[in-house]
Structure 1
Amino acid sequence: MATDEAFLKGRVDTLFGTNFEQREGRVVPTTADVALKDGAVKIEAAFLYADLAGSAKLSKTCPWTTTAKIIRAFLDCATRLIIKHGGHVRSFDGDRVMGVFMGDSKNSSAANCGREIHWAVRKIIQPAAFKQFKSISDNGIEIRNCSGIDVGEVRAVRSGIRDNNDLIWIGKAASFSAKLSDVRDEGYSTYISSRVYKQLNQTAKCDGNGKSLWLSASFVFAGEGEMVYKSNHWKKP
């Protein structure tokens, strides 16, 4: 495979000169649905990134097998809950998974999913790990997570080369939800944008007594202030 300077410069010129063939998407696209050469699919969707907090500490403190088992358990639970709520898993990145939700209830589905992932971490993964792994119990390690959710217009574009490629997601909803999943605010494990909050149904917004499940907070993204909503209320699946 050619990789010298002249070839790489030529590839960059070719890619910069691409005219995308964009189409409207009615479902969440897969890699095979988007042409590698010039394809782009525009969708309106809610994006959920679920990230396991403190995995660096796990790797430093625990045997690698323990860290691997905990990350696998987290991704297994998160993936199953995303699918349960009608989402489509489209990316894994270390200890993080991305789900894409479409349809009329996409915002409430994603928000409920985030709160259920929080429940799974606190009520299933944490106690099981504390019981089974001495390196967790001896060091008092708390397994936590954060889910970030935003909604908006996003383009799916295929990137890479033949046999080595995947979808990339171009748009604020994808990048902002990923950024929210990086927040580490003790007690709060689900963050949604104001755009998501405004479109929540009543059961996703309030508890059975009509009390809000969400607390507003300010956030800076790409140099601009954003109003977001955070929740420390988990939800049993």
Structure 2
Amino acid sequence: MGLKKELNDGVAAIFRDQWTTRKGRNVPEPEDLKLSNDAVEFDRATILYADLAGSTALVDSKNWWFSAEIYKTFLLCAAKIVRSEGGAITSYDGDRIMGIWVGESQTCPAVRAALKINYAVHKIINPALASQYPSQNYKIKQVVGIDTSSIRAARTGVRGGNDLVWVGRAANYAAKLTDLDLEPRTWITADAYNKLRNSEKLASGKSMWKQYSWTQKDNIKIYGSTYWWPIND
């Protein structure tokens, strides 16, 4: 079969075939779904994207090995923090990581993870970087976006090269929030903010969050924070 016929047949099948769906309780693995129109539904999930800011300038101006060490240290810390807060890592995409929380407890641990990533950057990675390379005068910055919504997981790709795609507002908004270039290192939607307890909203009786209007999304309400959550163990 020629490539063009394979593409024509594959596209036609995706548009033609009916979807099979089922409710999800745990984050699925790719092999849990078929490559056909098969999806796992979650009434609500919380998505976190953690993105390394300024990575293009980094690779343009620094040695490859220095850039690789920046990537590796950031993704190491982000991944371990996401897992420590009960999240599942769904993908690594260059200099960013996507985490997901499902079940009863999801938005609070996702936000704690974001604030802990901010702590790790300020208190662990940058001090170690300055100690190892004092002449580089380089500091890591990151942006983390979080949203919560209903979402579906489907398997995409081809045999031997496929993964899950997460379809729903939370995945898109969390990713887009990392494009914001303002002082806050953590951004969450109003829906995510409204799911938080006081322990994730307040520090010493003072709000950790400032309300903003997201001009790129019809001025909807979002919240940004410069705070971090200490990692004590």
**Is TM-score (shorter-chain normalized) higher than 0.5?**
yes
Match of residue 223, structure 2, among 221, 225, 229 = 229
Match of 1:93 in 2: 93
> Is the CA contact 2:25–2:103 (under 8 Å) kept in the aligned structure 1?
no
Larger mean CA deviation between 177-186 and 145-154 belongs to 177-186
Identity of aligned residues (%): 37
Match of 1:125 in 2: 125
Match of residue 157, structure 2, among 150, 156, 160 = 160
Match of residue 169, structure 1, among 152, 166, 188 = 166
Residue type matched to 2:6 in 1? F
Q: Which runs of 4+ in 1 moved over 4 A?
A: none
Match of 1:210 in 2: 205
SS at match of 1:48: strand
How many Å apart are 1:225 and its aligned residue? Answer: 2.6
Distance 1:115 1:37 in 2: 38
How many Å apart are 1:18 and its aligned residue? Answer: 2.1
How many Å apart are 1:129 and its aligned residue? Answer: 1.4
Aligned pairs for 1:27-176 (under 5 A) are: 27-43=26-42, 44-133=44-133, 137-138=135-136, 140-176=137-173
Residue type matched to 2:17 in 1? T
SS at match of 1:35: coil
Residue type matched to 1:230 in 2? G
- 1:73-102 superposed Cα distances (whole Å, 9 cap, x missing partner): 100100000000000000110000000012
> Is the CA contact 1:85–1:109 (under 8 Å) kept in the aligned structure 2?
yes
> Is the CA contact 1:51–1:96 (under 8 Å) kept in the aligned structure 2?
yes
Q: State whether structure 2 residue 189 is matched by structure 1 residue 193.
A: yes
Instruction: Specify every segment of 5 or more residues in structure 2 that has no aligned partner in the other structure, as ranges.
Output: none
Distance 1:56 1:131 in 2: 24
> Is the CA contact 2:22–2:39 (under 8 Å) kept in the aligned structure 1?
yes
Distance 2:7 2:34 in 1: 21
Instruction: Specify every segment of 5 or more residues in structure 1 that has no aligned partner in the other structure, as ranges.
Output: none
How many Å apart are 1:20 and its aligned residue? Answer: 1.1
Residue type matched to 1:30 in 2? E
Distance 1:18 1:164 in 2: 21
How many Å apart are 1:211 and its aligned residue? Answer: 1.1
Residue type matched to 1:33 in 2? D
Residue type matched to 2:53 in 1? A
- 1:177-217 superposed Cα distances (whole Å, 9 cap, x missing partner): 0111222213x10001000100101100111x321110000
How many Å apart are 1:111 and its aligned residue? Answer: 0.6
Distance 2:2 2:126 in 1: 49
Residue type matched to 2:207 in 1? S
> Is the CA contact 2:46–2:170 (under 8 Å) kept in the aligned structure 1?
yes
Q: State whether structure 2 residue 8 is matched by structure 1 residue 9.
A: yes
How many Å apart are 1:10 and its aligned residue? Answer: 2.1
Distance 2:32 2:102 in 1: 16
Please report the RMSD computed on the Cα atoms of aligned residues, expressed in angstroms. 1.4
> Is the CA contact 1:47–1:151 (under 8 Å) kept in the aligned structure 2?
yes
